[in-house]
Amino acid sequence: MTSLADPKRRLKLLLVSDLDGQILRVTTLCEQIVCSHDSDVDAVLVCGGLVSESAPGAYRTGESKAAAEGDMMALISRLETIVCRVLYIPSSNDPPTTRLASPNLTQYSINCHSRTEQLTDGVGVMGENRYTKLLGDGKDPAENWELLLVLRDTSAVTALPAPTFAAVVLTLSMQPIDDASLFDYHHLELIGGPHQSTASKTPVIFPGSLRQGHFTTLELVKSDTDDSWSIHAVHLHDLEFEPEEED
């Protein structure tokens, strides 16, 4: 696994989903981030939904697959203008070829569909395909991690096999966290799309849908006493765009 950052004690992550191939909206997002106090984000995590929702059979031809892959590359390249790495998973609407052998569509992005990637010492990002496989094998996906972030698809079924971790559901309106009970876990699911009911028995964050003009920043901190990682803050943001700017 490749570390995306030197060992540090604080991480700020941008969480997005439902990009729907809207390059103008993604451009607006990037401009808003780089001109804000969140310009120091360490990585962008995309929880599926990169291209527009498509009808069954939309990827039957090589040309249609290549065109959709090109759209995904353009979106990811635009996110990279924030000057940080981009980790993503494809969803059911994205080309099926992007779920095979985890190809990376750009030089500085990482397809986490079937793999785990290290953000920094003790913090990893795992794609849903890898996550469900480990659960099915009776293994603890968070083993060897201080904190594991699991990227899950917008259209994923939320009733996954229940792992043996703590159960806490996080809401999008959270400010800096003071409740000590929220620090007693090592696993967090990031499920693409707006808030929804879930059968998950693990901590969950819904980053919001860029389609609806929402995205989230997640701040993690490392303890000064035992070097464990925990959530410091979760913030839901509105995309600042004019109606005529919509694609």
Considering the chain, what is the average pLDDT of its residues? 80
Task: Report, at the CATH architecture level, how domain 10-245 is classified.
Answer: 4-Layer Sandwich (3.60)
- CA atoms in the 13 A half-sphere facing the CB of 60: 4
Cα distances from 113 to residues 32, 87, 89, 187, in angstroms, run: 28, 10, 5, 17
The region that residue 6 occupies, defined by phi over 0 for left and psi between -120 and 50 for alpha, beta otherwise, is beta
Q: Give 66's pLDDT tier (boundaries 50, 70, 90).
A: confident
Domain ranges of the chain: 10-245
27 has pLDDT over 50: yes
Low-confidence winner among 44-53, 96-105, 109-118, 209-218 (lowest mean pLDDT)? 96-105
Q: Higher model confidence: residue 19 or residue 189? A: 19
Question: The dihedral of CA 172, 173, 176, 180: what is its sign?
Answer: negative
Determine what percent of the chain is predicted with pLDDT higher than 70: 75
Q: Is the pLDDT of residue 174 over 60?
A: no
Note whether 189 and 150 are within 8 A (CB). Answer: yes
